[in-house]
Amino acid sequence: MCGIVGIVSTSNVNQSLYDALTVLQHRGQDAAGIVTFQDERFFLRKDNGLVRDVFRTRHMRRLVGNVGIGHVRYPTAGSSSSAEAQPFYVNSPYGITLAHNGNLTNAEDLSNDLFRTDLRHINTNSDSEVLLNVFAHELQKLGKLDPTKEEIFAAVRAVHKRCRGAYAVIAMITGYGIVGFRDPNGIRPACYGVRKTEEGEEYMIASESVALSAAGFKLVRDIAPGEAVYIETDGTLYTQQCAEDPHLYPCVFEHVYFARPDSIIDQVSVYKARLRMGETLAEKVLRERPDHDIDVVMPIPDTSRTSAMQMAHRLGVKFREGFIKNRYIGRTFIMPGQKMRKKSVRQKLNPIDLEFRGKNVMLVDDSIVRGTTCKEIVQMARDAGARKVYFASAAPPVRYPNVYGIDMPSVNELIAHGRSVDEIGQLIGADWLLYQDLEDLIACVNDVNPEIEGWECSVFTGNYVTGDVDAAYLNKLEAARNDENRFQASGGDSSDSSDNGIIDLYNDED
């Protein structure tokens, strides 16, 4: 999962891009990058690390220009090297940089075609570089020195015909502007907004609406599936539908886990959706155990807080913060090796003993992936003196891998794969385990947008909306995602400074 942002402004965009990336930091904590444009040159800074660590004052001063794009990333399978930090750059045609959120399911075939037919070289293992070269090649095929908006939209149409999977993209074309587009199923989110100044209108494209509002932009709307938004350097905006048969099937996991609660995605409030998740969990408790003995409901910080609060309210029991979170520890389900994950949970959360002692506690989390974190947390609650420990997941059982940009473990590492709810409850040590029903989750995220035809729920159902995911693909994905390969790919070292600086290029000595 990644966060992307692009701005066309009437003044320098470096600070606005930086601020937007900090707001989108929850979408990726492995690497960050910004590229700006001025006087026919790109200025680039990217490296591994959090936004605040990648960009120093000296970097910001060099990121000059009124147009720019940014990216935050966490590693996908086998790709934790800083060489794969984004945005990516290709010099022909015009000079194009690109930031991408999602995953191409036919990246390997595309890479072969690019080399053998399009005569383009791919320098990393990233499907984002593949997507960039597909877009660049299709734009170059048009053979125009000064591309018009129609020709840029034609290149996006060609991308849709060649690329499969999930992609929300922002690309910057030297001297012309930025273009943002979503895949024909709208799996990954993207929206755009406007900010009026004395000098004129400024535009931002971003993964989530919260990035717009934090920078003073007014949300215009979401980019439709298959649609492209092209903003010229002078602030002129054009939109066009570029897919032949678009359908809106957004990823439901955005609302469960990834998106910030103050975002609105495809006209659905993430906060309201999570409130409803807590409501439906409470209803399930009342159906299955109307005489429950829950004394207190506690969230596993932070994503589940909204659902847990509403669950407690509906059940008429106390809501308490039983765990204090150390905010300087990364997300545990993407950490290599079980020992590191177990150690991280203890470093990440610390229980408040008096809230647990002698009580029957219902712990609420947004989802259960490996179960390692849940098992440790349940034991922490018992060690803190809880009499009984119940556990509720705001999402249904995660039984299948994600192929659209969420780097979940291989299928054999998913605790719910091939197991019943009772078996999972025994493995994590809970006295009672409660999962959200899928139909209830869908009801929670369905809102005022009649254009949503369905939801991408493959991690729960094994049904992939793009229709091109078979057993062979999943087997190859599993091999890439197992812990051993992930640890070896990281090499135990992410300290190399990738770049590198500007595409002029300046060497950025840290």
pLDDT of residue 502: 44
How would you class 62 by CB atoms within 10 Å of its CB: exposed for 0-12, middle for 13-18, buried for 19 or more? middle
Q: Looking only at Cα atoms, what is the longest distance across the chain? A: 74
- Candidate ranges 118-122, 245-249, 342-346; pick with highest mean pLDDT: 245-249
Domain hosting 31: range is: 3-247
Among residues 294, 281, 307, the alpha carbon closest in space to that of 430 is found at 294
pLDDT of residue 115: 94
User: Total domain count for the chain?
Assistant: 2
The annotated binding site for Mg(2+) is made up of: 303, 365-366
Q: Is residue 379 part of a domain?
A: yes
pTM: 0.91
The answer to whether residues 298 and 197 belong to one domain is: no
- Is 242 an annotated catalytic residue? no
Q: In the predicted model, is pLDDT for residue 200 greater than 60? A: yes
CATH number for the domain that contains residue 56: 3.60.20.10
Q: In the predicted model, is pLDDT for residue 257 greater than 70? A: yes
Q: Is residue 34 part of a domain?
A: yes
Torsion of CA 174, 218, 190, 186, to 10 degrees: -130
Q: In the predicted model, is pLDDT for residue 301 greater than 70? A: yes
Q: In the predicted model, is pLDDT for residue 239 greater than 90? A: yes
The answer to whether residues 281 and 238 belong to one domain is: no
Total Cβ atoms within 10 A of residue 145: 6
The annotated binding site is made up of: 303, 365-366
Q: Out of 50-64, 78-92, 226-240, 357-371, which region has the weakest mean confidence (pLDDT)?
A: 78-92
CATH number for the domain that contains residue 320: 3.40.50.2020
pLDDT of residue 479: 81
pLDDT of residue 501: 46
Q: Does 30 or 495 have the greater pLDDT score?
A: 30
Check: CB of residue 33 under 8 Å from CB of residue 3. Answer: no
End of a domain among 430, 448, 466?
Answer: 448
Q: Which tens digits make up the pLDDT trace of 50-89?
A: 999 999 999 999 999 999 999 999 765 445 556 789 999 9
How much is the average pLDDT of 486-502? Answer: 44
* Residue type present at position 468: D
DSSP state of 413: G
Give residue 166's region: left, alpha or beta (phi > 0; psi -120 to 50).
beta
Residue appearing with tokens 């990281």: 490
The answer to whether residues 84 and 233 belong to one domain is: yes
The answer to whether residues 407 and 352 belong to one domain is: yes
Instruction: Spot the catalytic one: 2, 191, 251, 457.
Output: 2
Q: In the predicted model, is pLDDT for residue 304 greater than 70? A: yes
Q: Cα separation of 367 and 344, whole Å?
A: 18
The answer to whether residues 352 and 389 belong to one domain is: yes
pLDDT of residue 76: 55
